[in-house]
Amino acid sequence: MKLSRRSFLKLSGMTVTAAALTGLGFEVRQAAAAPLRTANAQETTTICPYCGVGCGIVCHSVNGKVVNCEGDPDHPINLGSLCSKGSALYQLTSSNERRLSKVKYRAPGSDRWEEKTWDWAITEIAKRIQRTRDDSFVTTDASGVTVNRAEALACMGGAALDNEECYAYSKFARALGVVWLDHQARI
Amino acid sequence: MAKAILVDTTKCTACRACQVACKQWNQLPATVTGFGGTYENPPDFRGSYTRVLFSESVKDGEVRWNFAKTQCMHCTDAACAMVCPTGAIRKSEFGTTVIDAAKCIGCNYCIANCTFGVIYFDRALNRARKCDMCYDRMSNGKTPACAKACLTGCLQFGERSEILAKAQAAVAAAKNRGLAGAQVYGQTEVGGLGWIYVLKDAPAAYRLPAAPEPPVTARFWQALFQPARIVAGLAILFGLWSNRKHSADLAPAPEGTATGAGRAISAGK
Amino acid sequence: MTNHWVDLRNTDCALILGANAAENHPMSFKWLLRARETRGAKIISVDPRFTRTSAVSDLYAPLRPGTDIAFVGGMINYALENRLYHEEYVREYTNASYIISSAYSYEDGLFSGYDAAKRAYDKNQWAYEMDAAGIPRRDKTLSNPRCVFQLLKKHFARYDAETVSSITGCPKDKFLAVASAFGTTGAVDKAGTILYAMGTTQHTVGTQNVRAFAVLQLLLGNIGRPGGGIQAMRGESNVQGSTDAALLFHLLPGYLKVPASDMPDLATYLDKTTPKTADPDSVNYWKNTPKFTVSLLKAWFGEAATAENEFGYQWLPKVHAGRNHSHIAIFEAMYEGQIKGLILMGQNPAVGGPNANKERKALARLDWMVAVDIFETDTSVFWKGPGVDPKTIQTEVFLLPAAASTEKEGSVSNSARWMQWRYVAAPPPGEAKPDLDIIDMLYKKVKGLYAGSTDPKDQGLLSLTWDYGSHPDPHRVAKEMNGYDLVTGKLLVNFTKLMDDGATSCGNWVYSGCYTGDGNMSARRDASDPSGLGITPKWAWAWPVNRRTVYNRCSADPKGQPWDPERAPFRWDAATGAWVSFDVPDFVATVPPEKSAASPFIMRVEGVGCLFSRELNEGPFPEHYEPWETPVANGMSSQNINPAVKFWGEADNAKGDKAQYPLIGTTYRVTEHWQAGSMTRNCPWLAEAMPEMFVELSPQLAQQKGISSGETVKVVGARGEVLAKACVTSRFAPFNVEGQTCHVIGLPWHFGYNGYVTGGPDKKRSYAANQLTAHIGDANTTIPEYKVFLCDLRKVT
């Protein structure tokens, strides 16, 4: 018997006059093409930021905001399909309130962030890079070999950075004399 | 013109692209969930149009882990459409079952009578909601979001006759590979489903109902209401009043704004 | 990857070992299932537990974590004993025929040349026997008892099925089913592929795990073939690119060695890093190291780099020869107070680092830290993390908001070495900026602080080229990576034009050809596939020189005829005296096929694939050793742990013993989350699907402990503990190892303590699985042994 107790209660609570209005037969619905929320959106292509397959994704944007992300049907690896992570790309965009949008600073001993400007942060960070580098720099080692190492400075990250970013980062780090250099590829 | 989607579970890796793509396309908020003992989440249809079931068992010393995407089955004999008092639920030109939001009065009859228990009540919008097989995409010549996202080709969208043929071929191929229990599900069930499954094993091995049928109540109300069209207008008004009273009797909704019955497709392991 | 993703559809048999491809590289299964459908390919899953990969595979075999060499060694032995190897390929394309010097030997877990005090080998003991001309002596009949082939057979004869089963805990019949199924790909016209990831690499023997694959695939003749090869499935969208760009202590971009203190000048550096061979048949493409190096120096220092000043070589830092500056070493030095400042661009070690508790402590010893991220990561708030009183932490932290992948233009390189360009969909939120902009601002500000300095230590920084525009343009950076002819000012067509005299610049020689006079090759979108093999040569651009499958000379026999005419990217047409090619040749195509057949591995100094390798730290052949923390003694020898592995400080890095911690723990990932979770745990749709930390255990262990699914339990180890929801599942079964029962439990490592979901309800806890892992790593790469540790599981009362 398919009738559950809950259904029975509903049945008894119902009145005869709660009748169907128009047909309970299966009339065909009007065939008006429903509007797509991606209509009139700008389309751009990207590559998924997650695993190393490199699936193609098409982003639809309206007024400077991404409204939809789907697989790129032209991409030979994924042919328009994606996994759950790529399918959720929309939630990585600025629609996600948790996205960082301001520069923050935490002072020694503090239990909170303070908002700062880019100018302030870049200046302060640069001063610390200079200080740490100068304080720990080893120009020649015990054998007299020129080694030019900034021994108290470390650079880490990032396997999700673009090639051009990784290249610039690698170049900058070495130019500073950094030897403590590593990232996700190692681990 | 009837469309269908193949669900070839011999290819499903339970990656959940379908689950997420559905949320993404329909902009459905995520529900808050917890780990219930298996990978299956969310645990029911409240707030979701689709969810992948994970069914684990041991057969002849071998582990079986069966995955099945579940959602509105777009039944030919749609119980929801049978009971809808306002005619908000209709069959589209594609053979899919669609709820017209403008006509839904939130009476919950469809939810109570759904053969598969896949409709939920959105409290904030005061209407019943479920998968509509991306009617908007389909009517613009596009593939439903889940089928498009599916990366193994488990989900394939097409003409129903084509999909049935693919399903039969997939069953034959599966049997060839030693999956003796492979079978089609959805060809004739409930008059024929809009989703044609290729199962490796009996439906129970996927926690799908073996012989699904619309509840007796649905057929009763269909028989009752069909001749009564003439009192349509009055019935709406009375129905609205009755609904308000009736809804108050329903069990309080848990966290969130969605309620719904999860009957035939069971939650849990 | 030697091949590429779409190529998986060409395989006859895919062995997924040390990876869970369906979950962590899901798109791989589009093509593996295509191979099954169209070619009847078999898919094999070997894993400590039955995963979503196993659920769609044809064959599953369980494997105790850390016993991959025993398993694969057994497959090698099986292929040798049953003569499944591809004999002509082995004879012609590998060093199977090379005679090994009498100095080499192996005995009870140790190869010759071991210094126990140093925990290191003298690799000169593993030399080839040379003839008078300095060319390795060979026996092409492969019968000389000192030839590599015979030594290989002897070494792996010890990996018989019973022994393998005893060590791995894999039932003998299942092991044999895998060995025989995959062994069929040794047939001349068959091709098998191996897919691996962190399950293979994250061990103290990780590198040798990969070596074992190399040996097996060379024996079966699978390297360089469509549907064959070895696929390292890289985990991040641009970890391939970041590796190529050498954000690694031991390299410079393009896999050049980092200068070291035993290379005081450029000439010595070039001498030590340029391989030499007397063998005229060996192409030895690394002989061009001087061209790559000088061109890099010209790219970095421009006109300031001249022949007179060694092209600026002295401006680069030199690591102390032999010193390890890897991730573990960095956090050890940080813990000791040696490192004062850290720049962290898009990385979350408080969750993703081994011995996460120690690493969080280490961060607290920094003077300052800069984190650049798109979400607030667990690491960025380490100063108020679980168990931390912010008042006791003096570290200054700068958190800079970064643009996401859809908010900046640039390229990423996938696992298959495809460099793919991507575009801006919408601007970043608020004041977030692309990482390139941030690096640019920092560089310019720091340079400004040193302006006018005459101190020699600052000259490199001041001489650095930085021609990217007032607002950095990624196209200009990509062009610098490609390289220029400095005489004409034109972009180079590829690295064959590089010079060692300063006439060319090239930031990364393997990328040369990516952005030429014809434009941005990585932005191409023509997906046509002329060969029908799924090679799409005009889609994006692959390094090197758009070669899609490397070692591809091996796809045809020495006469140039494809081993399988149906999968033939190359065929020598004797009538025209030229190759019919569908991919870029990885061999000299302008000489007769017999000649190029002598050097099918152009990047190896031998010119051939190495069954016997003289380079790795623990030996020329892979040998099974137990993990650092293990409940059993080594069944293969009396050397329990890898003899060349380095041990790190014991402070906050205690080693657990089996009496206290009898269970074997392992870590892994799930499809719905990614790495240390700072992105996916902030995506509600993904958190909905996988909301909480869990631990998987077998029903037998659950019964023993009285644990049911969904219950909260505590997993404890020598270095930390973590709470998790129990997932009791038959997908884990107890292992019978050397006569004892070993239980294995598994934990996903995505969860932490900050974000939309953290992994559990308690805000004062970290749900990071890496609280259990240790500072111990591979003997060559120091990749942490995340995959095996000892632990126990307790009910939470």
User: Under DSSP, is residue C539 helix (H, G, I), strand (E, B) or coil?
Assistant: strand
Residues A176 and A111 in one domain: yes
**CA gap B136, A34 in Å, rounded:** 5
Are residues A108 and A182 part of one domain? yes
C-alpha to C-alpha distance for A89 and B24, rounded to whole angstroms: 9
pLDDT digits (tens, 9 = 90+) for C652-703: 999 999 999 999 999 999 999 999 999 999 999 999 999 999 999 999 999 9
* Closest chain C CA to residue B37: C710
Chain C: closest CA distance from residue A3 (Å): 31
Average pLDDT over residues B45-69: 96
Count of beta carbons in the 10 Å neighbourhood of residue C540: 31
C-alpha distances in angstroms, B18 versus A72, A176, B72, B160, C682?
16, 47, 14, 20, 19
Q: Which residues of B touch C60 (CB under 8 A)?
A: 63
Asked if residue A28 is part of any domain, the answer here is no
A159 within some domain = yes
Angle between helix axes A5-13 and B232-249 (nearest 10 degrees) is 130
Are A85 and A141 part of one and the same domain? no
Q: What is the largest CA-CA distance in chain C?
A: 81
Task: State the residue for tokens 């380095």.
Answer: C646
Spatial separation of the C-alpha atoms in residues C756 and C687, rounded to whole Å: 8
> Which residues touch C309 (CB under 8 Å, ≥6 apart)?
none
- Token duo for residue B192: 């024929």
Residue C426 CA neighbour count, 13 Å, CB half: 24
pLDDT band at A107 (very low <50, low <70, confident <90, very high): very high
Q: Do residue C508 and residue A167 have CB atoms under 8 angstroms apart? A: yes
Distance from CA of C29 to the nearest CA of B (A): 6
* Order of all β-strands in the sheet with C368-373: A114-116, A103-106, C396-401, C368-373, C341-345, A153-157, A180-182
Q: What pLDDT was estimated at residue B223?
A: 74
Helix (H, G, I), strand (E, B) or coil at B147: helix
Those residues with Cβ within 8 angstroms of residue C283's Cβ, 6 or more apart along the chain or in another chain: C587, C588, C599, C602, C607
SS3 C62: strand
Give domain status of residue A14, yes or no.
no
- Please give the mean pLDDT across all residues of chain A: 87
Token reading at C794:
């307790």
Tell me what pLDDT residue A38 has.
Answer: 96
Distance of CA B193 to the CA centre of its chain: 10
Q: Is the ipTM of this complex over 0.90?
A: yes
Taking the CA of residue B8 and the nearest CA in chain A, the distance in Å comes to: 16
Q: How many CB atoms lie within 10 A of CB C730?
A: 17
Ordered by where they begin, the domains of chain C are 5-235 (3.40.228.10), 663-795 (2.40.40.20)
Is A120 in the same domain as A134?
Answer: yes
Give residue B269's pLDDT: 34
Q: Tell me the percentage of chain B whose pLDDT exceeds 90.
A: 78
- In the predicted model, residues of chain C with pLDDT beneath 50 are none
Residue B35 and residue C693: Cβ atoms within 8 Å?
A: yes
Residue C235's nearest CA partner among C406, C412, C415 is C415
Please report the pLDDT score of residue B259 as a whole number.
Answer: 44
- DSSP assignment of B23-87 equals HHHHTPPPPP----SSS--SSSSTT-SEEEEEEEEEETTEEEEEEEEEE----TT-HHHHH-TTS
Whether B19 contacts chain A with CB within 8 A:
yes
How far is it, in rounded angstroms, from Cα A10 to Cα B109? 8
CA dihedral C644, C645, C650, C655 (to 10 degrees): -110
The Cα–Cα gap between C180 and C190 comes to 14
Tens digit of each residue's pLDDT (9 = 90 or more) over B61-109: 899 999 999 999 999 999 999 999 999 999 999 999 999 999 999 999 9
A110 to chain C: which residues are within 8 Å by CB? 383, 390
Domain residue ranges in chain B: 3-214, 216-250
Please report, as a single letter, which amino acid is at residue A173. A
Are the Cβ atoms of B13 and C26 closer than 8 angstroms?
yes
* CB atoms A13 and B249 under 8 Å: yes
Question: How far, in Å, CA of C234 to CA of C593, rounded?
Answer: 34
Percent of chain B with pLDDT over 70: 83
Contact B217 A1 (CB under 8 A): no
Residue A31, domain member (yes or no): no
When scoring B39, B53, B199, B200 by the number of chain C Cβ atoms within 10 A, the one with the most, hence best to mutate, is B39
Does A91 lie in the same domain as A159?
A: no
Q: Are strands C59-62 and B127-129 parallel, antiparallel or unpaired?
A: unpaired
CB-based contact, B148 to chain A, within 8 Å = yes
**CA proximity to A49, closest of C435, C151, C146, B87:** C435
Determine the topology of domain B3-214 in CATH.
Alpha-Beta Plaits (3.30.70)
The span from the CA of C183 to the CA of C84, in Å, is 6
Residue A86 belongs to domain spanning: 42-98
Q: Measured between alpha carbons, how far is B17 from C672 in angstroms, rounded to an integer?
A: 9
| Chain C contact set for B21 (CB, 8 A) | none
**Which chains have at least 3 CB atom pairs separated by less than 8 Å from chain C?**
A, B
Q: Position C84: which residue type? A: L
Q: Residues of C with CB below 8 A from A79's CB?
A: 30
Specify whether the backbone of A80 is left (phi greater than 0), alpha (psi in -120 to 50) or beta: left
Chain B partners (3+ C-beta pairs within 8 A): A, C
Q: Which of A65, A83, A98 is the last residue of a domain?
A: A98
Note whether C354 and C784 are within 8 A (CB): yes
Taking the alpha carbons at both ends of chain B, their separation in whole angstroms is 38
Taking the C-alpha atoms of residue C286 and residue C273, their distance in angstroms, rounded to an integer, is: 9
3-state secondary structure of C476: helix
Strands C418-422, C541-542: parallel, antiparallel or unpaired by DSSP? antiparallel
User: Three-class SS of residue C568?
Assistant: coil
* C261, C412, C784 member nearest A162 (Cβ): C412
User: Are residues A155 and A81 located together in one domain of the fold?
Assistant: no
Whether residues A180 and A110 share a domain: the answer is yes
Residue C608 in tokens? 């051939």
A76 domain residue, yes or no: yes
Give CA separation, C315 vs A182, C301, C326, in Å: 20, 9, 22
- Transcribe C108-153 into DSSP letters: TTEETTEETTTTEE-GGGGPBPB-TTS-B-B-TTS--TTBHHHHHH
- Do residues C644 and C617 make contact, with C-beta atoms less than 8 angstroms apart? yes
CA of A69 to nearest chain B CA: how many angstroms apart?
8
The model's pTM: 0.94
User: Which residues of chain B make contact with A78, given a CB cutoff of 8 A?
Assistant: 151
Q: What is the DSSP letter of C697?
A: E
C261-292 residue pLDDT tens: 999 999 999 999 999 999 999 999 999 999 99
Q: Which chain C residues have a beta carbon less than 8 Å from that of A106?
A: 383, 395-399
| Total domains, chain A | 2
- What are the C-alpha distances in Å from C627 to residues C67, C232, C773, C785? 8, 22, 12, 8
Task: Check whether residue A112 and residue A177 sit in a common domain.
Answer: yes
Task: In whole angstroms, give the CA distance from residue C6 to residue C35.
Answer: 10
B211 to chain A, any CB pair closer than 8 A? The answer is no
Question: CA C547 to CA C418: how far, in whole Å?
Answer: 9
Is residue A65 included in any domain, yes or no?
Answer: yes
CA distance C111 to C644: 11
User: Is A27's pLDDT higher than 80?
Assistant: no
Dihedrals φ, ψ of B115, to 5°? -60, -35
CATH no. for residue A79? 2.20.25.90
| Position B265 confidence tier, pLDDT thresholds 50, 70, 90 | low
Cβ partners under 8 Å of residue A5, min gap 6 = none
Tell whether A5 is covered by a domain.
Answer: no
pLDDT number for residue B238: 64
For C98-114, give the DSSP string. BBBPTT--EETTEETTE
More confident residue, C296 or B239: C296
Cα dihedral sign, C538-C543-C545-C547: negative
Q: Is the minimum CB–CB distance between A48 and chain B shorter than 8 Å? A: no
Q: Do A3 and B85 touch (CB under 8 A)?
A: no
Q: Do A162 and C435 touch (CB under 8 A)?
A: yes
- A55, A80, A98: which is the final residue of a domain? A98
What is the structure's pLDDT at B230? 44
Judge whether A158 lies within some domain.
yes
Residue A73: closest C-alpha in chain C: C527
